[in-house]
Amino acid sequence: MDSALKALRQAQVDWRMLLMGGVLVAIALSFNVMTGGIFLSAENLYNIAQQTAVVGIVATVVVLIIVARHIDLSVGSVMGFVGVLVAYLMYSKGWAWPAAALAGLAVAIAVSVYQGSLTALLGVPSFVVTLGGLMSFRGAAFLVADGKTQPVTDPFFLRLGGGYDGAIGVTASWMLAALLCVAVAFGVINKRRMQHRFGVPSNPVWLDGLMAGVPIVIVLGFVAAMNAYQIPNKDAPQGIPIPVLIWAAVALGLSFIVRRTRFGRYVFAMGGNPDAAALVGIPVRRVTLMLFALLGVLITVAAVVSIARLNAGTNSLGTGMELLVIAAAVIGGTALAGGSGSIVGSVLGALIMQSLDSGMLLLDVSIGSRMVIIGQVLIAAVVFDVLYRKWTGEG
Amino acid sequence: MTTTTPSSPGKAPLVAMRNISKAFGGVHAVENASVNLHPGEVVALLGHNGAGKSTLMKMLAGAYPIDAGEVLIRGSKAHIRTPADAQALGIETIYQTLALADNLDSVANLFLGRELLTPWRTLDDLRMDAEARKVFARLNKNFTNHRVPVRRLSGGQRQTVAISRALYFNASILIMDEPCAALGPEETRMVGELIKQLKAEGVGIFLISHDMHDVFDLSDRLAVMKNGSMVGTYNTADVTEDEVLGMIILGKQPEGKTQAERVNG
């Protein structure tokens, strides 16, 4: 028993993440009881996953922005601007969707790097720069098409937003799940082998087994749920919705960047101690600019998914999204003081918020009460964060 | 590592900082200051807070740009604009603040800015872990919790991480800014031993310290600064503690003592 505890302590088990997962499960089970089994039905889970994707995609990268001691209040407005622009180029200018999306990408990167460079090169607080951006780019979203809604009709493009044809089907879903499970298992085995080779101590087998087993069970459970949902007038179940697939790919990609690349490590170092980062020779400005460029890329991805989901680009697209995104990051354990946060946390944070909203909707809670409750949950998450840091001595 | 005897004549110094000036706004932090350092030598830099010693060293370390003056490393003019430039010249710095990212573990901190990469340009964590273990063990046998954020480490362990950077990357020029300020007696002794060991290996060390005992125990020469200017540079053995204090407090050069700038070794 003692050795098990010791192993757990040294294994860098992320207790906060486990607890958040527990909270999500508790929320889901409670709502399921209260709604008489509707909450955990395949249809509802499918909808929650699909509805969370846009906020989830942007939240993954906003975690890194906050970790680096910056903030971006303009993500909703920039997404609206880029979304309308892409829809406008397709509908009013007749561009093919890849060309329109690339143009949107270029504009999003330009906007993000412009705001990032004011922060990185001139030291203007990102709060102020992006507060200005929040207003300007909402205006720009109006100017692009003179406030007119731009319908999106390309059938392939629409699939990116999910919906009726926007899922990959049963077979592809299972194959993807199998691939992911093999990758997780292989990753853990490979890690143990390399640790052995370098003489670095490994976790006990049962712990590594658990660390591989839990994600595998989650993936299989999720795919089983998505494959159980069939739209009544279709002849096959849906499988994984494409926006969720995009979100998963983004989250995996960013987790890889955080854990395995210099860039990711520098972002955390800059957030932990900006002075030290500069003194040891980290190119702080360049890393900050790259970070904002990455934000631009993912805002474009989110813009494409959301106009595909709404079948149109409107000038109100993404209004208020910055708050949801920051809330998802914070509920997911990202400290606004910088230096700590995780991509998985943002995924859990976004899911917790959407689950609360969806569950209360099923229970016919009014919009006013829902906003009151979700706002207080955000505060509870921050209170917990403060207490957790006190207990663990994270200062 | 080449071992040059400190007194070999005619050799260019390891470091020659000549007529260095630096102003922050209207404040002249360093004015026309010159100092040399030779292989295997410890030069102590002394002065009140704000005398300019840390600023002078930060220019050598690439943390601040130099306004005027020149730096010669091993006899040739060096252009140090960034910390990376200084590191490339074999200059390592142990800052008083230690310059650690508190949220990262000690292995990440040791390699911060100079990570070991796999052939796929990703972080080679295991190789860094294995290398770090060796360096840490050399300095502090009791230090084994390498994988916790450094904020949870003791003062001595944090110092171990900071010093390990200089050791691992084979510094030939080492700047130590108050290396013992946060340490207990045992750890202070360890740092003293280390300085003597590095000195024997031919490393040149600039030691910023307020502790007279350390200065007289460890340094070969001492340079005193006041209000941004160099008061004088002397062989440590030639001056008394009172004379040094006179230089620090009054900016007064001791009478009848010859300076020891050692421009030519």
Q: Which of A6, A270, A273 should one mutate to test binding to chain B, selecting the residue with the greatest count of B CBs within 10 A?
A: A273
pLDDT (tens digit per residue) in A201-220 = 888 889 899 989 999 999 99
Tokens coding A15: 């207790």
The β-bridge partners of B44 are B207, B222
The domain boundary, picked from B113, B148, B169, lies at B169
pLDDT (tens digit per residue) in A112-162 = 999 999 999 999 999 999 999 999 999 999 999 999 999 999 999 999 999
> Is residue A269 located within the same domain as residue A374?
yes
> Is residue B132 located within the same domain as residue B260?
no
The answer to the question of residue B205 being in a domain is yes
User: Could you tell me if A276 lies within 8 Å of chain B, comparing CB atoms?
Assistant: yes
SS3 content of chain A, % helix, strand, coil (to 5): 75, 0, 25
Whether B102 and A273 lie within 8 Å, measured CB to CB: yes
Contact A267, A343 (CB under 8 A): no
Residue scoring higher pLDDT (B141 or A369): A369
pTM for the full predicted model: 0.92
Q: What ipTM was estimated for this complex?
A: 0.90
Residues of B in contact with A277 (CB under 8 A): 101, 112-113
Residues of B in contact with A395 (CB under 8 A): 102, 151
Q: Which of B103, B107, B120, B122 should one mutate to test binding to chain A, selecting the residue with the greatest count of A CBs within 10 A?
A: B103
Whether B83 and A281 lie within 8 Å, measured CB to CB: yes
Contact B45, B53 (CB under 8 A): yes
- The alpha carbon of residue A257 is apart from the nearest alpha carbon of chain B, in Å, by 9
- CATH code where residue A328 lies: 1.10.3470
- The number of domains in chain B is 2
Tokens coding A371: 């906003």
Is it the case that residue B29 has pLDDT exceeding 70?
yes
> Is residue B130 located within the same domain as residue B23?
no
> Is residue B74 located within the same domain as residue B204?
yes
- The alpha carbon of residue B257 is apart from the nearest alpha carbon of chain A, in Å, by 38
Contact A253, A214 (CB under 8 A): no
> Is residue B155 located within the same domain as residue B180?
no
Average pLDDT estimate for A315-322: 95
- The alpha carbon of residue B37 is apart from the nearest alpha carbon of chain A, in Å, by 22
Average pLDDT in chain A:
93
The domain boundary, picked from B143, B169, B195, lies at B169
* SS3 at position B82: coil
Other Cβ atoms less than 10 A from the Cβ of A263: the count is 15
**Region label for B62, one of left (φ > 0), alpha (ψ between -120 and 50) or beta (otherwise):** left
Contact B80, B244 (CB under 8 A): no
User: Could you tell me if A275 lies within 8 Å of chain B, comparing CB atoms?
Assistant: yes
Contacts of residue A169, defined as CB under 8 A and 6 or more positions apart, other chains included, come to A236, A237, A238, A239
Whole-number pLDDT of residue A10: 63
Tokens coding B262: 């050692």
**Which run of H or of E encompasses B177?**
strand B173-177
Q: If interface means Cβ-Cβ distance under 8 Å, which residues of chain B face chain A?
A: 61-63, 82-84, 87, 93, 95, 97-104, 108, 112-115, 117, 121-123, 126-127, 129-130, 133, 147, 149, 151-152, 165
Average pLDDT estimate for B45-57: 93
Whether A280 and B83 lie within 8 Å, measured CB to CB: yes
pLDDT (tens digit per residue) in B240-254 = 999 999 999 998 888
> Is residue B178 located within the same domain as residue B261?
yes
Least CB–CB distance from A272: residue in B101, B127, B152? B101
- Per this entry, what is the length of chain A? 395
Other Cβ atoms less than 10 A from the Cβ of B155: the count is 13
Q: Give the chain A residue whose CA is nearest to the CA of B80.
A: A281
The answer to the question of residue A338 being in a domain is yes
> Is residue B57 located within the same domain as residue B175?
yes
Whole-number pLDDT of residue B1: 40
The domain boundary, picked from B116, B147, B169, lies at B169
Is it the case that residue A170 has pLDDT exceeding 60?
yes
Whole-number pLDDT of residue B184: 81
- The alpha carbon of residue A181 is apart from the nearest alpha carbon of chain B, in Å, by 22
pLDDT (tens digit per residue) in B187-245 = 888 889 999 999 999 999 999 998 898 899 999 999 999 999 999 999 999 999 999 99
> Is residue A195 located within the same domain as residue A292?
no
* SS3 at position A145: coil
Is it the case that residue B155 has pLDDT exceeding 90?
no
> Is residue A107 located within the same domain as residue A151?
yes
The answer to the question of residue B3 being in a domain is no
Measured between alpha carbons, how far is A32 from A7 in angstroms, rounded to an integer?
Answer: 35
Least CB–CB distance from B123: residue in A265, A340, A394? A265
Other Cβ atoms less than 10 A from the Cβ of A64: the count is 26
Whole-number pLDDT of residue B72: 96
The domain boundary, picked from A217, A240, A263, lies at A240
pLDDT (tens digit per residue) in A24-51 = 999 999 999 999 999 999 999 999 999 9
Q: How does residue B264 score in pLDDT terms, banded at 50, 70 and 90?
A: low
- The alpha carbon of residue A243 is apart from the nearest alpha carbon of chain B, in Å, by 28
The answer to the question of residue B194 being in a domain is yes
**In the A/B pair of chains, how many CB contacts fall below 8 A?**
91
pLDDT (tens digit per residue) in A276-301 = 999 999 999 999 999 999 999 999 99
> Is residue A180 located within the same domain as residue A300?
no
Q: Which of A203, A268, A280, A340 should one mutate to test binding to chain B, selecting the residue with the greatest count of B CBs within 10 A?
A: A280
> Is residue A204 located within the same domain as residue A157?
no
SS3 content of chain B, % helix, strand, coil (to 5): 35, 25, 40
* SS3 at position B206: strand
Q: Residue B114 sits in which domain range?
A: 100-169
pLDDT-above-90 percentage for chain A: 83
> Is residue A336 located within the same domain as residue A193?
no
- CATH code where residue B78 lies: 3.40.50.300
Q: What is the CA radius of gyration of chain B?
A: 19
Q: How does residue B183 score in pLDDT terms, banded at 50, 70 and 90?
A: confident
The amino acid sitting at A104 is G
The answer to the question of residue A1 being in a domain is no
Q: How does residue B7 score in pLDDT terms, banded at 50, 70 and 90?
A: very low
The answer to the question of residue A231 being in a domain is yes
Q: Give the chain A residue whose CA is nearest to the CA of B115.
A: A262
> Is residue A192 located within the same domain as residue A70?
no
- The alpha carbon of residue A12 is apart from the nearest alpha carbon of chain B, in Å, by 8
- The alpha carbon of residue A393 is apart from the nearest alpha carbon of chain B, in Å, by 7
- The number of domains in chain A is 2
The answer to the question of residue B55 being in a domain is yes
Measured between alpha carbons, how far is A306 from A141 in angstroms, rounded to an integer?
Answer: 14
Tokens coding B61: 């370390």
Contacts of residue A172, defined as CB under 8 A and 6 or more positions apart, other chains included, come to A239, A240
Whether B87 and A281 lie within 8 Å, measured CB to CB: yes
Residue A15's Cβ-count burial label (10 Å; 0-12, 13-18, 19+) is: exposed
User: Could you tell me if A336 lies within 8 Å of chain B, comparing CB atoms?
Assistant: no
Q: Residue A209 sits in which domain range?
A: 167-240
The answer to the question of residue B2 being in a domain is no
Measured between alpha carbons, how far is A61 from A67 in angstroms, rounded to an integer?
Answer: 10
Of the candidate ranges A170-179, A341-350, A359-368, B148-157, the one whose mean pLDDT is the lowest:
B148-157
Whether A198 and B130 lie within 8 Å, measured CB to CB: yes
The answer to the question of residue B6 being in a domain is no
Contact A223, A174 (CB under 8 A): yes
User: Could you tell me if A260 lies within 8 Å of chain B, comparing CB atoms?
Assistant: yes
Find the distance separating the first CA and the last CA of chain A, reported in whole Å.
30
Is it the case that residue B40 has pLDDT exceeding 90?
yes
Tokens coding A384: 């917990």
> Is residue A265 located within the same domain as residue A320?
yes
Whether B147 and A198 lie within 8 Å, measured CB to CB: no
Residues of B in contact with A283 (CB under 8 A): 84
Measured between alpha carbons, how far is B23 from B40 in angstroms, rounded to an integer?
Answer: 31
Whole-number pLDDT of residue A2: 65
